[in-house]
Amino acid sequence: MRASVFLYPWDVNGDPGAASRIAALGVQQVTLAAAYHSTRALTPRHPRHRIVTAEYASVLYEPDPERWAGRRLRPYPAGEWAPGDAFGTAARTLAAAGLSVHSWVVLAHNSRLGAEHPDSSVVNAYGDRYPWAPCIARPEVRAHLACLAAEAATRPGAHGTELESCGWYGLAHLHAHDKTAGVGLGDAAQYLMSLCFCGSCRQGYAEQGLDPARLAGAVREALRPVWEGSWSAAPADAGIERLLGDEPAAATLDFRARTARTFQEDMVAAVRAAAPEDFQVLLHADPAVHHCGANAGVDPAHILSVADGVVVPCTGGAQALKPFAGHAADHSVLAANLTVVSGMGGSPGTLEADARRAVGLGATELRLYHAGLASDQDLRAVRAALSRLP
């Protein structure tokens, strides 16, 4: 079974042993970050550092000035954590070790963009902006992210790409020193807190026959029991409909689902227009269309008609693969994404069993998160598990 590990360029650059160590795991591919959000990352084996702080969302290569000339929204080159063409340097090193490289591109998640251009961000029903979440209903944001996808995905040395956050982003986000867990939010409340009420979204709701101001008021009223502690979380669909009413809930979800579908079509089309004919395009995806975040909610039938496949979160269980398996073609890639970092909730010791279960539910490939963050013990368990898989 084809397996790929996630890596950052700083996991490879400056470490002469990194590429051979990754190849020795038994993987065939590396999914290497080309455009990534801010993070603080451990590097357990690097000879020069142990912690890398990526201070803001950036591209990990040198962006083309002609491509971005005259654009208000544009990508930020990385600082000292990934100077110059960090992606290209790492990609060449990995290729020399016999590994295929695919780019890893984060799209609708960028705190610096939202801080410097507040009008680009999601706005909740209370009027609070989410600077980490560019609103994908806004034409300027969509144009920016399409341009970013085309440039970042098709870096020299990449044979394919995986697009993360290719859809709606919402409340859920580990932002700075996060202090948002004081009230437990169920799936429905997370959705309601993620609804956007920027000008573009208000227009979209109005086109659905909804009064945006009344809808925002209904969302605030629906959430009032959550803040009071008097509402127990319900399954997402039942909870949303119960709180907003059937027709507003359906109309709101229809607008957001259509917006996400056309956004995903635009991103894939932008990559394909810039890429060689055999370039593979995958999306990190969740089969629950209302879900927001890194694994954006999609319509499984639609997305498999647009992209070459999906990367599906499977840590803790692989049931999310089943809706995709029902619509997969012979050529579709269904990659089960399994966390193999013990300290981040992963279970490298059960990787073989988890992978076999995922295959039984339709997985055709594996993605292992994250070889650069994992301990030596975790990597030994990964190597042993992969050696036993067909």
309-319 pLDDT, tens per residue?
999 999 999 99
Percent of the residues in the chain that have a pLDDT greater than 70, as a whole number: 96
* pLDDT-wise least confident of 74-88, 144-158, 161-175, 227-241: 227-241
pLDDT 10s digits, 20-52: 999 999 999 999 999 999 999 999 999 999 999
Average pLDDT over residues 330-351: 97
What pLDDT was estimated at residue 231? Answer: 65
Domains of the chain, earliest start first: 2-123+133-181+260-388 (3.20.20.80)
Percent of the residues in the chain that have a pLDDT greater than 90, as a whole number: 89
Mean pLDDT of all residues belonging to the chain: 95
What pLDDT was estimated at residue 279? Answer: 98
* 37 within 8 A of 109, measured Cβ to Cβ: yes
* pLDDT-wise least confident of 81-95, 131-145, 242-256, 311-325: 242-256
What pLDDT was estimated at residue 54? Answer: 97
What pLDDT was estimated at residue 239? Answer: 77
H-type helices in the chain, by residue range? 9-12, 18-23, 65-68, 86-96, 111-116, 139-153, 187-194, 199-207, 212-228, 236-244, 246-274, 300-306, 321-325, 351-360, 376-388
Average pLDDT over residues 269-284: 97
- Name, in order, each residue with C-beta under 8 angstroms of 127's C-beta and a sequence gap of 6 or more: 197
- How many other CB atoms are there within 10 angstroms of residue 176's CB atom? 9
- What backbone phi and psi angles, to 5 degrees, belong to 30? -125, 130
Flag whether pLDDT at 179 surpasses 90.
no
What pLDDT was estimated at residue 175? Answer: 67
- What is d(CA 170, CA 124) in angstroms, rounded to the nearest whole number? 9
pLDDT 10s digits, 63-96: 999 999 999 999 999 999 999 999 999 999 999 9
Q: Which residue has the higher pLDDT, 294 or 188?
A: 294
- Residue 335: name the closest of 351, 314, 354, 306 by CA: 314
Classify residue 230 by burial, with Cβ atoms within 10 Å: 0-12, 13-18, 19+: exposed
The pTM for the full model equals 0.96
Q: pLDDT category, 225, cuts 50, 70, 90?
A: confident
What pLDDT was estimated at residue 221? Answer: 92
* 239 within 8 A of 290, measured Cβ to Cβ: no
Average pLDDT over residues 100-104: 98
Q: Which residues pair with 163 in a beta bridge?
A: 105, 283
What pLDDT was estimated at residue 226? Answer: 83
Q: Token pair for residue 160? A: 């394919």
What pLDDT was estimated at residue 234? Answer: 56
pLDDT 10s digits, 350-385: 999 999 999 999 999 999 999 999 999 999 999 999
Q: pLDDT category, 242, cuts 50, 70, 90?
A: confident
Flag whether pLDDT at 235 surpasses 70.
no
What pLDDT was estimated at residue 285? Answer: 98
Amino acid identity at 301: A
Flag whether pLDDT at 183 surpasses 90.
no
What pLDDT was estimated at residue 373? Answer: 98
What pLDDT was estimated at residue 238? Answer: 61
What pLDDT was estimated at residue 232? Answer: 62
* pLDDT-wise least confident of 220-229, 265-274, 327-336: 220-229
